[in-house]
Structure 1
Amino acid sequence: MKKLFGIISIALLLSACSNDDWRSASREPAGIAPKPEEVSDAVIEFYAADAFSWRGWFAVHTWVAVKEENASEYTVYEVTGWRVKRGLPALYEYKTSTPDRYWFGSKPEKVLSITGEKAATLIPEIKSAVARYPWANEYTVFPGPNSNTFPTWIGLQVPELELDMPFSAIGSGYADNDS
């Protein structure tokens, strides 16, 4: 009976995931980032969204977006494992006006948001920290380095951010292993 209960529980858990096909999962903007065409101030945003598929029950995926004063787009910095599997660096950056897109069906939440003069002062420090990230070409789901290690490491390099990562940011503790 316990075995049957376990099988049913796992089946229910896996079937309850709303984003089980990455090709059709939403990547629409969540509408929580300041729009560059409306906000001229510098902006720093850290986001977290439930990880893809069943992993979202336990963990989040996190990323960083910065917009310099008067910029028309954000620069997003993100770490993903599938890039490493393709022979590419885990860490990458891209430009977008919508840094708050759903993470394959999961709506992001702001972990941190800083605007104005403080953001303008800290953006160069963030960019410098990104350039020094020691695991830019590595990705390991557990214990790390992974997508949660990266923003945590940035927060440790730029303590003025006062970044407080979510409990479910599995792999964030790996950032203390700076080599």
Structure 2
Amino acid sequence: MVLLVLYAYGIYLIEPFRIHRERLAASDIGGSAYSYGLAPKADQYDDAVIQVYAARTWGAKKVLAVHTWIATKGKGADHYQVSQIIGWALNRNGTALFSEAGIPDKSWYGNEPTLLLDLRGRDAELVVDKVEEAIAKYPYADTYTVWPGPNSNTFIAWLGLEVPELGLDLPSTAIGKDWRPWKETFGWSASGSGVQASVYGLLGLTAGFQEGVEVNVLGLSLELDLFDLALELPAVGRVGTAPVDVDLVFSSSESEATGR
């Protein structure tokens, strides 16, 4: 079992260097142009929207980890702004932060997205400006480390810290979410509902209303979500109730599209 974990980590660390950057168009980073119907159509929905997604990352890394990103739309806007950290973009653009108008709920390297957070209407309107301001001032945009971070999941967790109104709870498979600089070893959890002690994301403990109780060793997290009756396992992810009721999301999106 230990050898399997070490092998998986070896692939996780080495495989990013195999990517063919020149084959990735900046307008279609990592995904297709297909929407999974988890987000209301921007040109048909006037209210504000904030959504956070996760999808298994590409290649062998997906055995262990997901990639996360955030989509925002202000009230009256006719498009979504999709923001995420892309490691290879750092060398090409001088920043790993990639933010552009796009499809919020498309796949990531062929892997289906999972909706982690869905705020709409007044709830989203109250914090969307704060979220977009936080995105613009992300302090680690000029650095990227696959493991233990800062990486794409560190970015989303940091947004949760900056905007605790989101109540963000990232999955155990979001490796890098627990990365913290040494001077911030102790602090609030990403959801804003609890506390965390984490040594560079390599060893940590989190306890909060949203997260439950979580132990992190070498970036692998085990979480017992007491209030949602769910278990988060390393590599496997969430077992139990989903973070967002997708059936309700589909129903809501269909109603908005038809004007009902």
Partner Cα separation in structure 2 for residue 52 and residue 88 of structure 1: 23
Is the CA contact (8 Å cut-off) linking 1:152 and 1:175 kept in structure 2? no
**Match of residue 129 from structure 2:** 124
Q: Which moved more, 1:59-68 or 1:120-129?
A: 120-129
Unaligned ranges ≥5, structure 1: 1-5, 11-20
**Match of residue 161 from structure 1:** 166
When you count strand as a share of all residues, which structure comes out higher?
A: 2
**Paired residue for 1:170, among 172, 175, 181?**
175
Superposition deviation, residue 63 in structure 1: 0.4
**Paired residue for 2:156, among 148, 151, 156?**
151
Secondary structure, aligned partner of 1:172 = coil
**Match of residue 66 from structure 2:** 60
**Match of residue 109 from structure 1:** 114
Amino acid at match of 2:92: R
What does the per-residue CA deviation read over 1:133-172, in whole Å, with 9 as the maximum and x for residues that have no partner? 1101111000100000001000011101000001100000
Q: Does 1:74 align with 2:80?
A: yes
**Match of residue 146 from structure 2:** 141
Partner Cα separation in structure 2 for residue 37 and residue 77 of structure 1: 19
- TM-score normalised by L of structure 1: 0.82
Unaligned ranges ≥5, structure 2: 9-18, 25-29, 185-260
- TM-score normalised by L of structure 2: 0.57
Superposition deviation, residue 100 in structure 1: 1.0
Q: Does 1:36 align with 2:66?
A: no
Partner Cα separation in structure 1 for residue 111 and residue 139 of structure 2: 28
What is the aligned-residue identity percentage? Answer: 40
Amino acid at match of 2:47: D
Is the CA contact (8 Å cut-off) linking 1:153 and 1:176 kept in structure 2? no
The 1:140/1:74 distance shift into structure 2, 3 A limit, reads same
Q: How many residues align?
A: 163
Partner Cα separation in structure 1 for residue 171 and residue 115 of structure 2: 10
Is the CA contact (8 Å cut-off) linking 1:153 and 1:175 kept in structure 2? no
Amino acid at match of 1:44: I
Partner Cα separation in structure 1 for residue 159 and residue 141 of structure 2: 12
What does the per-residue CA deviation read over 1:65-100, in whole Å, with 9 as the maximum and x for residues that have no partner? 10011211011111010111325200121012x211
Higher relative contact order structure (alpha carbons within 8 Å, sequence separation ≥ 6) = 1
Superposition deviation, residue 178 in structure 1: 7.3
Amino acid at match of 2:118: S
Partner Cα separation in structure 1 for residue 132 and residue 55 of structure 2: 23
Secondary structure, aligned partner of 1:174 = coil
RMSD: 2.6
Is the CA contact (8 Å cut-off) linking 1:59 and 1:170 kept in structure 2? yes
**Match of residue 16 from structure 1:** none
